[in-house]
């Protein structure tokens, strides 16, 4: 028992030191910062996968406190996100949950910690960094348009159209932040899980992307949002408009992913070369409407069985 306790304390101290070093590098070193940012949750995740939840939370808190010595309060929001994600990843691995559960819990953790820090920055520091970023972007676009007009004598974009574009961007911020949080969580998981496996931690596996099938309920949500747009037509700026817009963006992305999955399934079924799969994924950006349609058909009808039947014949 004393040996176990000593080992736990030693591992905790090592992981705290590694976490603080990663945070300091990510915060201060420009070129290596991207790599350090992705690896920052790794020490806490490893410790959380090896030991109980209360010890892991304590190590994460001490790691955030130690990181204060490198950058003061400015670095604290940065370290809180990665410490929280590390605890969640390790805890899910220790409980032997599925990789989908790991992805969802990590994404929700990133989203919640970001939201809490946003609220704190508004309430305590009276700083709305999202609105300030949007205002900075508006000013940057305005200066670019003025420069282009002075050089060419023509306005590249109508001011009314530009204002409408920014209004839509502001209205869609909840969906954009949500998708960004889950995308960030996916990158962290994809890079750190192989390393955790090499460090002796049992990690789950995702099913092959070509076999990805999202819940069919997504199709019903899409139909409901489509019906609201068609029959109600919410006015721009109203709460219903903001809700429908954000749900639409998230559903479009999910159905596009489903469409790409089906295309990969079909290409693999016909024995196509791998570069075609990469090309199909890239083409989903300009042809997202087509992929959304494929995703709807894939969820609503059993077209995969049709493809299998064609191949067997």
* CA–CA distance, 259 with 281 (Å, rounded to integer): 10
Query: Quick one: pLDDT band at residue 85, thresholds 50, 70, 90?
Result: very high
Among 109, 80, 104, smallest CA distance to 19 is for 80
Identify the residue with better confidence: 168 or 82: 82
At 10, list the tokens: 């030693």
- Average pLDDT over the chain reads 84
Under 8 Å between Cβ of 214 and 299: yes
Q: How far apart are CA 133 and CA 116, in angstroms?
A: 18
Place of tokens 């410490």: 83
**What pLDDT, on the 0 to 100 scale, is given for residue 229?**
84
pLDDT in the model for residue 156? 63
302/308 Cα distance (integer angstroms): 10
Most distant CA pair in the chain: distance in Å? 79
pLDDT at 153: 65
Q: Which domains does the chain have, with CATH numbers?
A: 2-198 (1.10.1760), 209-312 (no CATH)
> What does pTM read for this prediction?
0.84
Spatial neighbors of 80 by CB under 8 A, at least 6 apart, are 64, 113, 117
Burial of 152 (0-12, 13-18, 19+ CB in 10 A): exposed
State what percent of residues in the chain have pLDDT above 70: 94
For the residues of 69-118, what is the DSSP string, one character each? HHHGGGGHHHHHHHHHHHHHHHHHHHTT--HHHHHHHHHHHHHHHHHHHH
CB proximity list for 244: less than 8 A, separation 6 or greater: 225, 228, 229, 234
Higher pLDDT, 30 or 111: 111
* Two structure tokens written together for 133: 């970023």
Residue 1: pLDDT band (50, 70, 90) is very low
Output Rg (C-alpha) for the chain, integer angstroms.
23
Q: Which residues of 123-143 are buried (b: 16+ CB within 10 A; e: fewer)?
A: eeeeeeeeeeeeeeeeeeeee
Predicted confidence at residue 35, as pLDDT, reads: 86
Q: What's the confidence (pLDDT) of residue 313? A: 56
- Helices and strands in the chain: count of H runs, count of E runs: 14, 0
Look-up: residue for tokens 């676009």? 141
State pLDDT tens for residues 175-207.
Answer: 888 898 899 999 999 899 999 999 888 888 777
């Amino acid at each position: 028992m004393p040996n176990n306790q000593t080992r736990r304390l030693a591992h905790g101290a090592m992981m705290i030191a590694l976490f603080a070093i990663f945070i300091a590098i990510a915060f201060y070193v420009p070129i290596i910062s991207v790599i350090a940012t992705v690896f920052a949750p790794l020490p806490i995740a490893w410790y959380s996968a090896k030991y109980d939840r209360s010890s892991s939370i304590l190590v994460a808190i001490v790691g955030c406190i130690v990181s204060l010595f490198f950058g003061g309060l400015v670095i604290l929001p940065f370290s809180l996100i990665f410490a929280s994600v590390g605890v969640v990843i390790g805890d899910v691995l220790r409980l032997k949950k599925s990789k989908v559960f790991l992805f969802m819990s990590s994404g929700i953790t990133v989203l919640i910690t970001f939201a809490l820090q946003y609220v704190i920055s508004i309430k305590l520091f009276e700083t709305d960094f999202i609105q300030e970023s949007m205002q900075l972007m508006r000013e940057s676009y305005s200066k670019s348009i003025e420069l282009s007009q002075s050089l060419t004598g023509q306005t590249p974009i109508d001011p009314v159209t530009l204002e409408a574009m920014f209004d839509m961007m502001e209205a869609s911020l909840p969906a954009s932040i949500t998708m960004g949080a889950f995308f960030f969580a996916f990158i962290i998981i994809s890079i750190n899980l192989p390393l955790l496996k090499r460090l002796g931690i049992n990690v789950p596996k995702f099913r092959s992307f070509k076999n990805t099938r999202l819940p069919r309920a997504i199709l019903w949500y899409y139909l409901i949002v489509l019906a609201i747009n068609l029959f109600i037509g919410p006015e721009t700026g109203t709460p219903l408009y903001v809700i429908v817009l954000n749900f639409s963006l998230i559903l479009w992305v999910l159905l596009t992913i489903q469409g790409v999955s089906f295309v990969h399934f079909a290409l693999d079924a016909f024995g196509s070369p791998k570069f075609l799969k990469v090309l199909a994924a890239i083409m989903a950006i300009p042809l997202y409407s087509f992929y959304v349609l494929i995703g709807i058909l894939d969820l609503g009808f059993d077209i995969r069985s049709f493809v299998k039947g064609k191949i067997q014949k």
